[in-house]
Amino acid sequence: MRLRDLLRGLFRRGRREPSGRRGHADAGHLILSPGASRGEIGLGDLLRALGTLDAADTATAARVSRCLGFAQRDPNPPERLHGAYDRTRSPHRRSTPPRAPAPPLGAPPFSGQAPPPDLPERALEADLTRLDPVPMTDRPDWLDITVPAEPPRPSPPRRTPLFPLRTAPALLSAAVAIRRPGSEPDLQRLIAAFVRGDRLRELPRLPVARLDRGIQLLLDMSEAMTPFRDDLADLTQAMERIVGRTRCQFFEFVGDPATASGWEMAGIDHGWRPERGRPVVLATDFGIGAPPAARDRASAATWLRFAGTVRKAGSPLIAFVPLPPARWPVRLARRITLIHWDPRTTAGAVRRLVGAGHEVPG
């Protein structure tokens, strides 16, 4: 007789009593709850079946469980959940196996190999040679040598500007100023004209020095002016502070000053051209400090031709020369206002040379 048929016969013996109390069967029969549906078998029914049948071994108990519908497998295996919600791929679950617990401190990690054999309890025999301490008499002499500290390096001497900062504003202003009629009347000219009986068409006025015309600064970048490169930068900055940046035009040249060129804010190269009434300032040594065979040395005729071009434009021509006056060319000194570019030059000496300013037409 099959086990399934036996279980079905056991379930058919249960009866329901009209009193509504729990029914009972003969000895060895199953006791069923009243009103229970035979299609729903619970864990209590399984226990009762195992106790009635006296299933002593595991194989018989497993067969009874399978007959009553208790299968020992996952009712929702992963392959059935494919395409719906695969819990095995949940981002909250780790895909890697959990780490093994860390070994306690002081214990070596288990490598899967057999532990090393126990060492013998006896002491190891080794031949060691005892070394005597080195006596102080054998101490090398170089250990007691005291290395003297390196002396501090002297700081380089400070460069002295050719025009000191305290006198540069007054000196440069007097050197590049132009003469203009002021608002005060010239009483001496007025009295002299009255004594002579001259008829004046306009009231004579005292001249004043002004910087409203600006300047054109031409910097000599030849080889002979290499020692004065920093001084050229100082002169450029000083002119910007005194005359104003918008009123200064800067040019550079090598050899012939008429070929000087400058750069605008947009980086466009433009050649030098004189402007009527605007002073032209040179910073050069006229090639005096260059060797005779220097290629970037302009001749005296070139400088005289340049001076004539500036005079025709109606502009004053001033030159700052870093060499002493004893080395100045005599012919250039007659055509150009030369000023010694030296710390000993004073603003008073420049005013005596220039007067109230350079005379310009118009």
173/56 same-domain check: no
In a domain, 256, yes or no: yes
Region of 326 on the Ramachandran plot (φ > 0 left; ψ -120 to 50 alpha; else beta): alpha
Is residue 187 in a domain? no
Gap between the Cα atoms of 344 and 167, Å rounded: 10
Phi-psi category of 308—alpha, beta or left, where left has phi over 0 and alpha has psi -120 to 50?
alpha
Same domain, 221 and 342: yes
Q: Which of 67, 84, 108 is the last residue of a domain?
A: 67
> What's residue 30's pLDDT?
42
Question: Do both 176 and 39 map to the same domain?
Answer: no
Compute the distance between CA of residue 355 and CA of residue 174 in angstroms, rounded to an integer: 8
Amino acid letter at 226? T
Residues 173 and 308 in one domain: yes
The pair of structure tokens assigned to 361 is 């037409």
Q: Are residues 45 and 172 part of one domain?
A: no
High-pLDDT (> 90) share of the chain, %: 30
pLDDT in tens, 29-47: 444 444 444 456 777 777 7
User: Between these two residues, 193 and 258, which has the higher pLDDT value?
Assistant: 258
Domain interval for residue 40: 3-67
Supply the mean pLDDT for the chain.
77
- For the segment 231-248, what is each residue's pLDDT rounded down to a tens digit? 999 999 999 999 998 899
Cβ atoms within 10 Å, residue 217: 26
Q: Is residue 213 part of a domain?
A: yes
Position 48 scores a pLDDT of 81
Judge if 213 and 349 occupy the same domain. Answer: yes
Q: What is the mean pLDDT of residues 183-194?
A: 80
Residue 264 has a pLDDT of: 62
> What is the count of structural domains for the chain?
2
Q: Which of 67, 91, 109 is the last residue of a domain?
A: 67
Could you tell me if 175 and 47 lie in one domain? no
CA distance 88 to 251: 81
Rounded CA separation 360/179 (Å): 7
CATH number of the domain bearing residue 299: 3.40.50
- Is the residue at 315 inside a domain? yes
Whether residues 177 and 317 fall in one domain:
yes
Average pLDDT over residues 116-120: 74
For residue 156, being part of any structural domain is answered with no
pLDDT at residue 266, as a whole number: 54
User: For residue 219, what are the β-bridge partners?
Assistant: 252, 283
DSSP string, 121-133: SSPPP---PPPPP
Same-domain check for residues 63 and 173 = no
Q: Which of 25, 50, 67 is the last residue of a domain?
A: 67
The answer to whether residue 321 is domain-embedded is: yes
| Whether residue 175 is found in the same domain as residue 50 | no
Residue 216 clears pLDDT 90, i.e. is over it: yes
CA pair distance 249, 260, nearest whole angstrom:
12
137-167: pLDDT as tens digits: 667 778 778 888 888 888 888 888 888 888 8
Kindly state whether residue 253 falls inside one of the protein's structural domains. Answer: yes
Q: Of all residues in the chain, what percent are helix, strand and coil, respectively (each to 5)?
A: 35, 15, 55
pLDDT value of position 316: 93
* Pairwise pLDDT comparison (71 vs 54), residue with the higher score: 54
pTM across the whole model: 0.55
Report whether pLDDT(255) > 70: yes
pLDDT at res. 185: 80
Whether residue 25 sits in one domain with residue 172: no
318 is a domain residue: yes
